[in-house]
């Protein structure tokens, strides 16, 4: 098994932006880090890492904090196929039940 690679610049930037948005949502609501940390069942230190966009914090903790802020319903939109710039649902017609076999992917690649 190959050694894990560090996250890309794009991933780091996206998680940092998510953390900044979480921090802004908390501040706009006038809620302290301790209050949100308690509601999310985590520590104030971990919440600080989330607000700083730490890629090493699990997505479950990001979701718990978003739930504590009342914005967790926005999380699934991140992977909504309607927002996918690289995928045209109209071209596919429908979402397949599973990914094609590896050899078929090369032959039928759309992009």
Domains defined for the chain, CATH in brackets: 9-80 (1.10.260.40)
Is the pLDDT reported for residue 110 higher than 80? no
CA 45-42-6 angle, 5° bins: 65
Q: How does residue 111 score in pLDDT terms, banded at 50, 70 and 90?
A: very low
CA atoms within 13 A on the CB side of 75: 18
Model confidence, pTM: 0.76
CA distances from 74 to 44, 49, 79, 82 (A): 23, 20, 10, 14
Q: In residues, how long is the chain?
A: 111
Are 2 and 13 in contact, with CB atoms under 8 Å apart? Answer: no
Give me the mean pLDDT over the 38-49 stretch: 98
Give me the mean pLDDT over the 38-66 stretch: 98
Is the pLDDT reported for residue 54 higher than 70? yes
Average of per-residue pLDDT values in the chain: 86
């Amino acid at each position: 098994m190959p050694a894990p690679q560090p996250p890309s610049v794009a991933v780091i930037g996206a998680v940092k932006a998510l953390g900044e948005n979480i921090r802004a949502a908390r501040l706009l609501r006038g809620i302290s880090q301790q209050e949100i940390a308690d509601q999310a069942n985590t520590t104030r230190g971990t919440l600080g890492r989330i607000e700083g966009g730490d890629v090493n914090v699990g997505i479950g903790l990001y979701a718990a904090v978003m739930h504590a802020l009342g914005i967790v319903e926005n999380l699934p939109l991140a992977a909504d196929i309607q927002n996918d710039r690289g995928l045209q649902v109209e071209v596919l017609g429908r979402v397949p039940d599973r990914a094609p076999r590896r050899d078929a992917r090369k032959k039928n690649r759309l992009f």
